[in-house]
A = this chain, B = another copy of it.
Amino acid sequence: MIRTAIVGYGNLGRGVEAALAGAPDMELAAVFTRRDPQKLRIKMPGVPVYAYSELAEKAADLDVVVLCGGSATDLPVMTPEIAKIITVVDSFDTHAHIPEHFAAVDAAAKEGGNLAVISTGWDPGLFSVARLYANAALPNGRDYTFWGRGVSQGHSDAIRRIPGVLDARQYTVPVEEAVQRVRNGEDPVLTTRQKHTRECYVVACEGADREAIRQAIVTMPNYFDEYDTTVTFITEEELLRDHAGLPHGGSVIRSGCTGQNGEYRNTVEFSLKLDSNPFFTGSVLTACARAAYKMHQAGGTGARTIFDIPPAYLSSASPEELRAHLL
């Protein structure tokens, strides 16, 4: 059994916990938290909860740690810190900063003789590796990524910070016509606005100026100003009733040519439809934790991404079983 610990018990941590419960070769050995460990109740019975500060002294009883913190401030500090101590997996998703995060984690993991898989989940993660296979098979082509329909927690948070907003849920929605054009192999050049729309469901404080809130949302730079955005005001009850889930998904599509003169068109598509983004992401992190453990057992140290993981390592099945049943 691969002794696995979770650091951070939010939605993602609970997703990893549930995935570990279904993994025949892994066990949840501990949960680490920056909250008061006495007050944290986890689902799985009999698993100890420790303070994050205790991780170094408990590491000898663990094989791999799954980091469930945020990319903005937690992971840039925590992943290198933990990689010095033990093999670790994170879901760092600030695409622009991946090279520097990789370098920092690589140095720390090598110093500690450990292995670290960074930036995994579904995007970055499964979507990334889908892009890589599609690019390898169709070097002459064009990539498209569509996200949604699903809840963007970053955009929901941005709305919540507007004065007069009590709560909010933002859905990213792909423009179906654009998706169809890409699937048809038309290779369209698409603007940000042509690819996705944004739907906002907002609970306003009593007496708040709704039109001012709407204006603040639709003009918000980077988040909304380049999109066709709709704002719908709802009650707190409606939000809890109709928008409690965190569904997400999307498609990576590559359209490209083969043939002596590029005469053949081809489309490769990878799609996800997820009732719960954090539980699926937690499941992918768990598979990557298994792979990180195996790569470290095989003598590997330093940072890796999903691009470096032999896919068989993600599975609990043996190579023989995989060849017989999935090949």
B307 touches A135 (CB 8 A): no
This chain: copies in complex? 2
B323 touches A307 (CB 8 A): yes
Contacts of A324 in B (CB 8 A): 98-99
A311 vs B133: C-alpha distance when bound (angstroms): 7
Size class of the contact patch on chain A = 35 or more
Taking the nearest CB of chain B, how far is it from the CB of A29, in angstroms?
A: 19
The residue from B15, B102, B259 contacting A18, defined by CB atoms under 8 A apart: B259
Taking the nearest CB of chain B, how far is it from the CB of A64, in angstroms?
A: 15
Chain A 121-149 interface mask (CB, 8 Å, partner B; 1/0): 00010101111110111111001000000
Taking the nearest CB of chain B, how far is it from the CB of A322, in angstroms?
A: 5
B95 touches A136 (CB 8 A): no
B279 touches A259 (CB 8 A): yes
Q: Which residue of B lies closest to A95 (CB)?
A: B327
B264 touches A274 (CB 8 A): yes
Chain A 265-308 interface mask (CB, 8 Å, partner B; 1/0): 11111111111100110111001000000000000000001111
The A310-325 residues at the B interface (CB cut-off 8 A) are 310-312, 314-317, 319-320, 322-324
B322 touches A307 (CB 8 A): yes
Q: Which residue of B lies closest to A265 (CB)?
A: B275
Contacts of A270 in B (CB 8 A): 130, 268-271
Using A95-B327, A327-B307 as known contacts, say yes or no to A126 and B137 having CB atoms under 8 A apart.
Answer: yes
Q: Which residue of B lies closest to A183 (CB)?
A: B273
A43 at the interface (CB under 8 A from B): yes
A31 at the interface (CB under 8 A from B): no
B276 touches A316 (CB 8 A): no
Taking the nearest CB of chain B, how far is it from the CB of A180, in angstroms?
A: 13
A221 at the interface (CB under 8 A from B): no
A316 touches B139 (CB 8 A): yes
Taking the nearest CB of chain B, how far is it from the CB of A293, in angstroms?
A: 14
A-B contacts, 8 of them at CB < 8 A, read A15-B258, A99-B323, A119-B327, A129-B311, A136-B287, A138-B283, A267-B272, A270-B270
With A133-B311, A259-B275 already in contact, 19 other A-B pairs whose C-beta atoms are closer than 8 Å: A21-B260, A43-B260, A99-B320, A124-B327, A126-B137, A131-B326, A132-B315, A136-B284, A136-B287, A137-B284, A139-B283, A264-B279, A265-B275, A266-B280, A267-B273, A305-B327, A307-B327, A308-B312, A308-B319
